[in-house]
Structure formats: C-alpha cells, structure tokens
Amino acid sequence: MNQAAYAAVDWGTSSFRLWLIDRTGHVLAERRSDEGMTRAATIGFAAVLQGHLGAVGAAADLPVIICGMAGARQGWVEAGYVDTPAPLAAILAGAVTVPGQSRDIRILPGIAQRCTSAPDVMRGEETQLLGALGNDAAGEALVCMPGTHSKWAEIRNGTVARFATFMTGELFAAISHGTILAHAILGAEAAEDRSAFQHAVVEAFKTPARAANLLFRVRSRQLLFGGSPAAARETISGTLIGLELAAGLAKGAPRGNLTLVASGRLAVLYRLAFDTLSVAVQCIDADAAVLAGLSRAAAATWTR
C-alpha cells in the first residue's frame, strides 16, 4: 500500500467514510462505518481514524484530508466557517491542521450564512460543491443536495452566493415514526409506489401551504378508501420533497444550470420529482462529488 498519496475522509454526523488515494487520484481502498461525529466523540476521533487507516495498511506519515462534522464545535477540532459569499477556493485555504498528531491531518471548514433574516450553515456539502463544480466554475448554477438536511446553493463564478437548508429527510423520519402516520406505513418496507410519489410531489408543489393537510390525507385516504402502506409512505415522501422543490424552484431562483448532487435512493426520488415537474436537471453522484472535492483539497494542500 506504499503507493498511497493521502487518505480522504467524509466524516458526517452519523457516518464515516475513508478512501485511500494514490498519486493519480485512483481509489486504492475504501472504508465505511457508523462511527460518525456522534459515536466518534465518545470513542475518540484519533482512535477511530487510526483504526481505519491501520485496516487499510496506511503508512504512519500518510496525510489525511477530512470534511464534515469532524470540524464542528462538537467535533474533533473546530474548523470554523467561510462566510457567504464564499469562494469555493477559500474552502481549500481554510483547512485547519489537527494539532498533536504524528501525521498531517487537515479538516476543511464549512460555510456560514451570517444573515439574521436567513441564517444557515453547511459542513460537508461545501466539499461536494467543490467536487461537483470545481473552484473556478464560470457562470451561475443552482445545486440541490438532498439529505437529512437538504441544501440548495446558488453558485456564481465559483462562489457560493447563498444557500438554504431544508430539513426534509429529518421531517420524513420524524413524521414516519413519531406521528399517527406510523400506522399507515406499517409493513411498507422496500415496496414502491411511483404514482403515489409523483402525485404527492405535484400536490405539494402546487399548494405548499397545505403540507400539513396533505400529510393528514394519508391517514384519511387509508381510512375511507384503503390503500397500501407503500402508497402511504411514498405520499409522505413526495409531499415533503414537493414542498422543498416548491421553495427551491420558486420564482426568483436561478433556474438555468440546475444540478442535483445525490446518490442511491435519494438520487432516484429527487430525479423522479424533477422529471414529474418537467424540470431539467443535471445529475452528479454525491459520493463521487465529495471524493472529487477532497481530492482537490488534497492537491491544493500537498502538491504544487
């Protein structure tokens, strides 16, 4: 494994991902675990990282570049924020070195929107943006990054002009498990219902103010007309995603060059939602984007 040039780490709240990368940018090895910030804060960040580095046979002096919640106040070392309007290049320049380590470990900063009328923060998604768009991209782009806390970012000439977080994924979880609708979706598991999802996206997009009513209809519909648990779950999902899209695609937002940065099931769902609304969107894999962003950061930090 001595051809490794550095390790790249995406350290989220509940997940940890590490890639071992060679000089040409190829992935030599990959590790995934649930030792996100929350668990790592208990175990110890250095121990978690060293465990994974040891498992892939990393050299003792292999440098490590990290993005995500490891740089939060409650994380390993606070990496602060670059304030909007935030040039993506400033992310590269803002990396913080973890002190007292035998190897060179850098944590990338997040982005903060210190605006009292629309305060917002991101940590990790700035690295996806860096990977998806590069730090010298010309022109305007609107980027949707779905997740527990979906981010919508407006980028102008390589600078994050502004962004907004929608707690869509977390609302889905809280509503699916913590309300009367938990009964409606019991047994849905992996079953799908594309048409229920698409119908819900359109309804919420057209009448976002009715969101709390559209959600209750999931129960009323099942009570009065029956219907599958899968249809119920997809309706909840479609309602919340349609609500998010109603804001993200509202008049005034830049519609040209819309990019979706997502992976797995979220990529499928959001792509379907955009298609349902006849909104053209370019798709970039979120895993590839974060890795590309970390690689850019590594190149800026350790090569010249």
* Cβ-based nearer residue to its own copies, 18 or 201: 201
* Cβ-based nearer residue to its own copies, 53 or 261: 261
CA distance readout (Å), 114 to 56, 86, 264: 40, 11, 32
Ranges within 57-116 binding its own copies (CB under 8 A)? 112-114, 116
Token pair 């090569």 is found at: 303
Binding mask 244-263 for its own copies (x = CB under 8 A): x-xx--x-------------
Please report whether residue 210 would count as binding its own copies according to CB under 8 A: yes
The one among 145, 185, 243, 289 contacting its own copies by CB under 8 A: 243
Instruction: Locate 2 and state its tokens.
Output: 């001595």
The one among 189, 224, 278, 304 contacting its own copies by CB under 8 A: 224
Strand partners, 9: 18, 66
Residue 161 CB, nearest approach to its own copies (Å): 16
The one among 167, 277, 283, 288 contacting its own copies by CB under 8 A: 167
61-69, 94-102, 172-180, 280-288 -> range binding its own copies (CB under 8 A): 172-180
Please report whether residue 179 would count as binding its own copies according to CB under 8 A: yes
Buried-exposed string 191-218: b where 16+ CB fall within 10 A, e elsewhere: eebeebbbbbbebbbeebeebeebbeeb
Please report whether residue 171 would count as binding its own copies according to CB under 8 A: yes
How far apart CA 243 and CA 40 sit, in angstroms, is 34
Say how many residues touch its own copies, by CB under 8 A.
45
Residue 218 CB, nearest approach to its own copies (Å): 9
The one among 216, 263, 271, 299 contacting its own copies by CB under 8 A: 216
Please report whether residue 121 would count as binding its own copies according to CB under 8 A: yes
Check if the beta carbon of residue 143 is closer than 8 Å to that of residue 132. yes
20-28, 91-99, 160-168, 266-274 -> range binding its own copies (CB under 8 A): 160-168
Contacts of residue 4, defined as CB under 8 A and 6 or more positions apart, other chains included, come to 20, 21, 22, 28, 58, 59, 62
Buried-exposed string 128-165: b where 16+ CB fall within 10 A, e elsewhere: bbbbbbebebeeebbbbbbbbbbbbbbbeebbbebbbb
Residue 213 CB, nearest approach to its own copies (Å): 5
* Cβ-based nearer residue to its own copies, 33 or 207: 207
Stated as kind and residue range, the H or E segment containing 195 is helix 194-206
Stated as kind and residue range, the H or E segment containing 150 is strand 150-156
* Cβ-based nearer residue to its own copies, 23 or 177: 177
Burial of 35 (0-12, 13-18, 19+ CB in 10 A): buried
Please report whether residue 237 would count as binding its own copies according to CB under 8 A: no
27-35, 136-144, 211-219, 293-301 -> range binding its own copies (CB under 8 A): 211-219
How far apart CA 19 and CA 9 sit, in angstroms, is 7
How far apart CA 124 and CA 293 sit, in angstroms, is 10
* Residues contributing to the site for its own copies (CB under 8 A): 112-114, 116, 118-121, 149-150, 164-168, 170-171, 173-175, 177-180, 207-213, 215-217, 220-221, 223-225, 240, 243-244, 246-247, 250
